[in-house]
Amino acid sequence: MEDLSFWMELADAYRSPILELGCGTGRVLLNLASAGHQVIGLDLDAGMLTVLQENMPDNLRARVNVLRGDFTRFHLASRFNLILLPCNTYSTLSSVERSALLSCVARHLAPGGVFVASLPNPVLLRQLPSYGSPQVEEVFPHPDDGSPVQVTSSWQRAAQGVTIYWDYDYLLQGREQHLSRAVHHHRATVQNYLAELHEKGFKLVTLYGDYDRSTYYREAQNLIIVAGFQALTQA
């Protein structure tokens, strides 16, 4: 997928150790480990972590540590050169949750390390129509039997933000299956995100507008934040 090369380039630039927040089933984490990086993955979803462990090749296990936990309140013994939060997760957190996450990240960044979070461009989210009709996003083979899984998305915009609905339809052992998932992206501006970083002692390194490292602009598809931490000093 288009973002994998972006995360790989960051990992090559900042090197191990790396912490992925919200690692899920390991799509990003396993690719980083395959490239030789030492990676810790943190996620609260036990089911996803089980899938990750089951899919992890034996030759990667020495480079990967998978932990179950809340990434808004974690305490690890290590510090990291790179802490990443991919997959548009950052905007699904409330301002209180983002504040707690940033406090944790600040405690776990090594000197010279960076925190990188990707999210949908909040400007574009605010410009969406109030309702988006279902559209097919992709079709991929089911991991159990290879039958096609169709992924459809729709959305609904309200004053509090945008809720995106994901529907998965497939045949499993000849029976129709349907799964649904709703993901809410909170209403916030680019300025809100940057102010929160500043208040926690972070220094902005750069803003990207896409995974090709193009500079962020108002019409960009994404907002990718790269920030380092500098300890707050009292005057």
Residue 12 is predicted with a pLDDT of: 97
SS3 of the chain: CCCHHHHHHHHHHHCCCEEEECCCCCHHHHHHHHCCCCEEEEECCHHHHHHHHHHCCHHHHHHEEEEECCCCCCCCCCCEEEEEECCCCHHHCCHHHHHHHHHHHHHHEEEEEEEEEEEECHHHHHHCCCEEEEEEEEEEECCCCCCEEEEEEEEEEECCEEEEEEEEEEEECCEEEEEEEEEEEECCCHHHHHHHHHHCCEEEEEEECCCCCCECCCCCCEEEEEEEECCCCCC
Residue 21 is predicted with a pLDDT of: 98
d(CA 33, CA 64): 7
Residue pair 231/122 in contact (Cβ under 8 Å)? The answer is no
pTM for the whole structure: 0.90
Q: What percent of the chain has pLDDT over 90?
A: 82
Residue 233 is predicted with a pLDDT of: 46
Residue 232 is predicted with a pLDDT of: 53
- Per-residue pLDDT 10s for the chain (235 aa) are 589 999 999 999 999 999 999 999 999 999 999 999 999 999 999 999 998 999 899 999 999 999 999 999 999 999 999 999 999 999 999 999 999 999 999 999 999 999 999 999 999 999 999 999 999 988 888 767 778 888 899 999 998 999 999 999 887 777 788 889 999 999 999 999 999 999 999 999 999 999 999 999 999 999 999 999 986 544 3
Residue 231 is predicted with a pLDDT of: 64
Question: Which pair of tokens denotes residue 234?
Answer: 């009292």
Residue 235 is predicted with a pLDDT of: 36
Handedness of CA 129, 133, 136, 142 (dihedral sign): positive
Residue 100 is predicted with a pLDDT of: 98
- Kindly report, residue by residue over 148-201, the tens digit of the pLDDT: 888 899 999 998 999 999 999 887 777 788 889 999 999 999 999 999 999 999
CA distances (Å), origin 150, targets 125, 138, 145, 153, 169: 24, 6, 14, 10, 5
